[in-house]
Amino acid sequence: MAEGGSRLPLLKQCLIRRTGQQEQLGVAASSLQELKRKACHLLAIDLASQPVTLVLAEDGTIIEDNDYFLCLPQNTKFEVVAKNEKWTSTGEGTTWLEEEITNKTEVDTSGEKWKVLARQLKNDLSTIVLMSEEDLQELVDVPCSDLAGELAENPLQTQRLQASLQETLDRREEERRSRQLLKLYLQAIKKEDQATPTAQASEAEKKSGGGTDTVDLGSSGPSSVERTRLSACVVAVLKEKPAPELSLASQDLELICKEDSEALSRTLRWDKHKTESLKEACGQELSRRLQQFHSLNSLRNISKGKKKLPEPEGRLRSKRRK
């Protein structure tokens, strides 16, 4: 027996079969790779047909992540797809999917959805991963005493469970916002890339025009400044960040300070007061960075001066006389 009481890895019970076949076998594995190895051995899949792919029997979802595999319920049905094969639907669902459909029917009839969700957690805590945000919120909103009675747990453990459910909800919300911000950023980059050839063509057309006169519409035109000089990435940061001046480079801050307030308000779709506050904050941040830069330069000059102080000429002469 190993020292320190080392625990054996937890085994997950699975049902496997070749794709397109009805005969299935039971197997237990502690990881996705172990399940693949055992499946190849039990189903007599030769080396020429490997590597194999494991998919869920009910919808053909490809399982490649080991953590996702460990979160699946016990007795999940898998189909083994060999190297040159394609998955074909058999119209059958996994055991846990059938239970989910049954539970939804019970919810519709009883009207107490949280009790059904609580029973799912009581049977298998890993079903949290498969629950929607609406289901998680349903369990969080239930009074702790009622949920504790349904789970047959003490109120303290139930309170910790609800806190974990809330953390899961918050994490999913944060991930969703991050994806939305990334999507906006990619869209801004795409628009900027599309606008660059157009701007270059306009500049070339102006140069080729030679001595053509330019008419200044002044304030009577549609607007004094139609577009800002800020890039799409900078505009996206200004819209999304609560304190954008801390996330921008000094060159961008200088451009914002020099930008026309009307054009900037129109670009950001803000009112004049909010735009002026933004420009003021950017100016203060730029001044702070400049002061810090000058302070660092002064310290560097002082340190260099201490290292290279010349020795007085009189002292050199006295040494020579000796």
pLDDT tens string 146-161: 888 888 888 888 888 8
Q: Report residue 315: phi and psi, to 5°.
A: -65, -35
Question: Is the distance from CB of 63 to CB of 39 less than 8 angstroms?
Answer: no
Which tokens in the block code for residue 301? 């000059």
pLDDT at 75 over 80: yes
**Torsion-angle region of 76 (φ positive above 0: left; ψ -120 to 50: alpha; else: beta):** beta
Query: Can the peptide bond before residue 51 be classed as cis, meaning omega within 30 degrees of 0?
Result: yes
CATH number of 232-305: 1.10.1490.10
What is the rounded radius of gyration, in angstroms, for the C-alpha atoms of the chain?
A: 34
Q: Where are the domains of the chain?
A: 12-81, 112-192, 232-305
Comparing 100-104, 124-128, 221-225, the range with the smallest average pLDDT is 221-225
**pTM of the complete model:** 0.30
232-240 and 261-268 helices, crossing angle to 10°: 70
Q: Which residue has the tokens 């051995």?
A: 41
Q: Which residues, 6 or more positions from 50, have their beta carbon under 8 angstroms from its beta carbon?
A: 40, 82, 83
Task: Identify which has the larger pLDDT, 160 or 100.
Answer: 160
Task: Identify which has the larger pLDDT, 313 or 257.
Answer: 257
Q: Taking residues 283-298, what's their average pLDDT?
A: 82
pLDDT at 97 over 70: no
Q: For the chain, how long is the longest CA-to-CA vector?
A: 113
Q: Average pLDDT, whole number, for the chain?
A: 75
Q: Taking residues 1-30, what's their average pLDDT?
A: 75
Span 218-262, pLDDT tens digits? 444 444 334 567 788 888 888 888 888 888 888 888 888 888 888
| Topology of domain 12-81, CATH | Ubiquitin-like (UB roll) (3.10.20)
% of the chain beyond a pLDDT of 90:
0
Q: Give start and end residues of each alpha helix (H) in 76-129.
A: 95-110, 113-123
Residue 278, burial from CB neighbour count under 10 angstroms (0-12, 13-18, 19+): buried
Confidence of residue 208 (pLDDT cuts 50, 70, 90): low
Residue 183: its pLDDT value, please?
81
